[in-house]
Structures are given as structure tokens and as C-alpha cells.
Amino acid sequence: MHTFKITFTLFFSLLLLQSCLAQTSPEVPVAEEYKSCCGTEPVEFAFRNEKVYVPNVFTPNGDGINDYFMPYVNKEVGGVWGFTVYSARGDTILFQREYFNYEREIENYAWNGLRKDGSKYKGLFKYKMRVDDKAAIKQIVGGAACAIVCDPDAKIFRNKEGCFYPVQAGKEGDLDKSIPDGEKSCF
């Protein structure tokens, strides 16, 4: 009986070892805050002649690349009103501008990824705004995007598909996929 237990234990251990060795390399775990990032929401909105591009990720790390979250519009848009960023649940306003002024310094009108208390926001958030054309016809634009904090969890974005950054804004309020994301220091 004792020999049977040793043989069974050895056999089971070998099977377990073989199973572990046969597995492919493990997937990189995704931080909970980043699970719904990239590819889940539209980034381009078009109605009549107006176009609006809203990136679905940004990296507010102060390196001068993709540091601010904001909408990008074409010349047919007359104004962006009530630009508001909410927590993922939609229960907390993280940032708000009554009127988005493209003529002024972006740092004063775009969101820099900080909460009102100055701490960094990480992960999924929601946004909403009203976009007016030059004839004052109004459209509501909203969706979700992610603030990527440049820490070890951010490495999943190195090859993640469906991520579009502020630097990829085209000149006509659209996404220009030919522009590289420019991220070198974050991932």
C-alpha cells in the first residue's frame, strides 16, 4: 500500500509538471482600472459637415505627449459647451469647462488627468459635451476613455489594439491612424 501511494504521488507530480511546462507564456494581467480601455467606444463623431475626434486614451505624465484629454473638431463646429469628465460610474465630476475655447492655451481648457484634490485619476472615465455647428444646431457627444498612469500596469498598452491618442488628431476633427502614438516614456 505504501508503494502505491509513492507511485501515485510521483505519477501525479509528473503530470502536473508536464502540464505546467506545456503551457504557453502567461498573459500579462490587466489592472482592473484598464479592463475596459480601448476599442469599446467610438472616437469619431460626424453629423452634417461637423466632425469631432475624441481620443480614447491619454497619458498625463508631463512629457509633452498625449498629456491632455479634449475633443478635436473641424472648422464647421461653432463651439463645444459643457465639456464634462465623470468617473467610470458617472457619479463624480472630475473636470468641467462651460465653453471649450480652442483659441486659448490648451492647458487651461483640456483635462490634465487630475482630480480636484490634485491626485492622479487612473483608468476608465466617461465624458459628455454639447457640440454646436455654426448655425447653432446642437448635438450631444459622449463616450468613455481612459487615463493611463505611467506605472508598471501601463505596459499592457504597448501593443493593445483600438487605443487612439490625442496626438493622432487629424486636421479635420478626425482620427489619423497614420500618426504614431508617440509614447516612448510611458510604456
Model pLDDT for residues 93-138, shown as the tens digit of each residue: 999 999 987 777 788 889 999 999 999 999 999 999 999 998 889 9
Q: Give pLDDT tens digits for 65-89.
A: 999 999 999 999 999 999 999 999 9
Q: Which CATH architecture has domain 32-168?
A: Sandwich (2.60)
Q: Domain extents for the chain?
A: 32-168
- What is the rounded distance in angstroms from the CA atom of residue 117 to the CA atom of residue 137? 36
C-alpha cell at 116: 480636484
Distance of CA 172 to the CA centre of its chain: 21
pLDDT confidence of 23, banded at 50, 70, 90? Answer: very low
Side chain identity, residue 169: A
Kindly report the number of other CB atoms within 10 A of residue 95's CB atom.
Answer: 20
